Amino acid sequence: MKLKITITGPKVHDVGYRPWLTEKAVDLALRGFEVYNDAEGDLQSVVALVDSDKRRATQFFEFAKAELPPLARIDDIRSEPYDEEIQPLWQSATLGTFVQINKAVPILQEMREDLREVKTNTNLIPEIAENTRLIPEIAENTRLIPEIAENTRPIPEIAEKQDVIIDEIRGLHREMTFDAGWRARIESDIQAIKAKIGIR
């Protein structure tokens, strides 16, 4: 028995429909099988050509009606007799494998580049670990911030009194300088008196 099964809908291409149907054809050990993407007007379609005994051909059609790939969106599935030649299943499966491999190559190359980036990023983990080792110390230091703030609260008052303090220091300096001058003069006078009296 030969059937042409047509699946139509807004999204039946690039969702894995052909490998999905090919896998079922292999499971059922169909004699002949072909599957390809097509279109009917604005709708996408997938066409499966089946050559097998009536029981397995019917099972395949029932599977196609009941199951679909997760991302597929279909509107209609129909079956009609088909009288042209259909290639052997092994040949179709082999060709399908090559098609899937060709689709996979660019994806695998992109994944390889992504993995290189991941490896580069994971090489930074020891450096990150070293930097994060300081976090408990930083946390301890930040715990001291309120105490530091409390101790620095008098600083503005001290700054305001700075001029008064400087004036007081200058006054003390003058007094000390004056006292030192007087002391030197007194000592000089005492020495002069001792010299006149003859006391050493």
- Can you spell out the DSSP letters for the chain? -EEEEEEEESB-SSSSHHHHHHHHHHHTT-SEEEEEEEEETTEEEEEEEEES-HHHHHHHHHHHHH---TT-B-SEEEEEE--S---BHHHHHHHHHHHHHHHHHHHHHHHHHHHHHHHHHHTTHHHHHHHHTTHHHHHHHHHTHHHHHHHHTTHHHHHHHHHHHHHHHHHHHHHHHHHHHHHHHHHHHHHHHHHHHT--
Q: Is the pTM of this model over 0.75?
A: no
Give the tens place of pLDDT for each residue, 85-96. 999 988 887 777
Give the tens place of pLDDT for each residue, 113-155. 878 877 777 777 777 777 777 777 777 777 777 887 777 777 7
Active site residue 18: yes
Active site residue 37: yes
Pick the catalytic residue from 31, 37, 116, 121.
37
Statement: residue 8 has pLDDT above 90: yes
Taken in order of first residue, the domains within the chain and their CATH numbers are 2-96 (3.30.70.100)
Statement: residue 76 has pLDDT above 90: yes
